[in-house]
């Protein structure tokens, strides 16, 4: 993996997800999770998230839709925070999941909306 991609990816990942999230992921010292973090930083964040064709806000909303479609709800809270960091509004984020009911199914959509509300309350975005 190109060290420049890893460095660029880590910078954009910090911008989107925040230092606390990234620091938590980066603290692992075993060779397997370290290797995985290099792949995540270098490829996902360094080669994909740095592309200019979509704004960070658009990438965040698309990512939320994909996470809902894949039913990977463990990934949602961090990416909801990231979408907010990138300028998405709570209404825009929830709307992604409302539309997801049609394409991903109501169980995934319902869970995603509940996760949104949990994160929004945690951040004081809604009461």
Where, residue-wise, is CATH 1.20.1290.10 in the chain? 56-123
Mean of pLDDT values over 84-109: 97
Which CATH number is 56-123 given?
Answer: 1.20.1290.10
Give 49-82 pLDDT, tens digit per residue.
Answer: 999 999 999 999 999 999 999 999 999 999 999 9
Conformational region of residue 105, where left means phi above 0, alpha means psi within -120 to 50, and beta covers everything else: left
Rounded CA-CA distance 83/75 in Å is 12
Rounded CA-CA distance 64/69 in Å is 9
Contact (Cβ atoms closer than 8 angstroms) between residue 79 and residue 67 = yes
Rounded to two decimals, the pTM is 0.90
Rounded CA-CA distance 47/80 in Å is 21
Mean of pLDDT values over 40-54: 95
Radius of gyration of the chain (CA): 15
Contact (Cβ atoms closer than 8 angstroms) between residue 112 and residue 100 = yes
Tracing tokens 């692992």 back to the chain, one arrives at 28
Distances (CA, A) of 49 to 17, 57, 89, 116: 12, 11, 20, 22
Give 4-39 pLDDT, tens digit per residue.
Answer: 999 999 999 999 999 998 998 888 778 898 889 899
| Cα first-last separation, the chain | 44
């Amino acid at each position: 993996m190109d060290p420049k991609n890893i460095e660029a990816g880590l910078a954009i990942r910090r911008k989107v997800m925040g230092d606390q999230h990234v620091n938590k992921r980066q603290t692992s010292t075993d060779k397997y999770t370290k290797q995985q973090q290099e792949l995540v930083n270098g490829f996902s964040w360094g080669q994909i998230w740095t592309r200019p064709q979509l704004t960070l806000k658009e990438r965040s909303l698309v990512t939320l839709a994909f996470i809902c479609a894949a039913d990977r709800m463990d990934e949602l809270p961090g990416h909801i925070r990231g979408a907010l960091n990138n300028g998405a509004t709570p209404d825009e984020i929830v709307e992604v999941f409302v539309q997801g009911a049609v394409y991903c199914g109501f169980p995934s959509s319902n869970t995603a909306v509940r996760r949104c509300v949990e994160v929004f309350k945690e951040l004081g975005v809604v009461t």
